[in-house]
Amino acid sequence: MPRISPISLVLAALATPLAAQVGLSGVQLPRVGGVLEQVGDLADNTLESTSRTARDLARDRLRTIDRLVRRNGDTIALDSRGEPARRGEVLLLDASADALAKAGAEGFVLLETVDLADLGMRVSRLRVPAGLELGEAEHALERILPSVTIAPDNLHFQSGSAGPVPLALAAAGSGAGSTPVGMIDGAPGKSVPVVATRGFAEGAPYPSNHGSAVASLLASEHPGPIRVADVYGTDSAGGNALAIARGLGWLVGQGSKVVTISLVGPRNAVLERAIAGARKRGVVVVAAVGNDGPAAPPAYPASYDGVIAVTAVDGKRRALIEAGHALHLDYAAPGADIRGINAKGKRIGLRGTSFATPLVAARLARALDRGRDWRSALDGEAEDLGKKGVDPVYGRGLLCGDCRGR
């Protein structure tokens, strides 16, 4: 009897006719940056109609995950919570030699131990014994090692669509910025000015439409040094928690004071510890709330403690109907009716919370450049929208309201 995924069962319960999914402006983007970017674009490109409901968006999220797992069953599986992760591997945090030996006695094979000294943590990557599903392996390790933190290597999705819509080129940022800013995403194309790009996935660095657009927005408002950690490359299981943690460790070690992450995934113990380690080093992490709608689960890394969670508005300063949510919300910024640069250096139209996030990161870096307390500076700049004061739609207010990208 064929195995039926839990996501398929949920989708069957939610089943209603769906409109055909088309690319932005009816043009399908070329394959760049691996299958996750393709699938992410496919999901995000369904979000142009403002009549979409939270139920539609929640169903689309499940369909996207289900399709991803079905198409990439050799590298991607569902974990014990039904979230996508790298197939056949689990992660242990700060496991002792004795713990690794116990796991080995049960058929788990140590693939590598990654020392992320700049984040104050160590991650062991284990191969799951043959015949065990990922969720079963998690539960088995929990019984064997009850005092060790165990996590699947969960995948994270890029949270915005980059459409081939020609638009006027806006002026890039000017001035002497000195605060180093890091970015975790796909790699930018050659036309986007960055100091360095390093790969943390198979085939990385590999030019990405999404990564190029995010980097171009960051560069348009931040004249200081930008470094990019490519966590996708051409890997069908790219965007995983360990890749992001490795990228974050590199950026922190290179001196980044602000890190922007336009990716969304489930809560993951490895990435949570990595971000906590970066914060202990004084690094501010800025992250998107995603585009899966208000009925989706809380977005991570935006929901981790101390992360600056960012949502998006359109050109009329209306909250995007598809914007997700985090356990807290800090600021809004333009995420539609703006433009950026794709991997081939062409000007493109953008939509999604992905593209609001680097604008907030740039404003934060500007405050640090001026020696100011960044929270006070951003709060002073933020334009209060919606209900007076902090609210769940716009957070503490709109930043960079006149920013329109490049």
Helix (H) / strand (E) element for 143: namely helix 134-144
- Give the pair of three-digit tokens for residue 147: 């005092």
Which residue out of 156, 210, 325, 328 is catalytically annotated?
210
Please, are residues 294 and 61 in contact by the beta-carbon 8 Å criterion?
A: no
**Distances in Å between the alpha carbon of 56 and those of 14, 49, 51, 349?**
9, 11, 10, 24
3-class DSSP state of 62? helix
3-state secondary structure 29-47: CCCCCCHHHHHHHHHHCCC
325 is catalytic: no
- Give the pair of three-digit tokens for residue 221: 């408002």
79 is catalytic: no
Which residue out of 44, 60, 185, 230 is catalytically annotated?
185
Any alpha helices (H) in 222-343, and if so which ranges? Answer: 241-253, 269-280
List strand residue ranges (DSSP E) for 252-373, in order.
Answer: 258-261, 263-264, 284-288, 308-313, 331-334, 336-341, 347-351
The rounded radius of gyration (Å) of the Cα atoms in the chain is 20
> How far is Cα 143 from Cα 135, in angstroms, rounded to an integer?
13
Dihedral sign computed on CA atoms, order 196, 281, 312, 28: positive
Contacts of residue 290, Cβ cutoff 8 Å, sequence gap at least 6: 157, 159, 264, 296, 299, 302, 323, 324, 353
Please, are residues 305 and 284 in contact by the beta-carbon 8 Å criterion?
A: no
328 is catalytic: no
Residues identified as active-site: 185, 210, 354
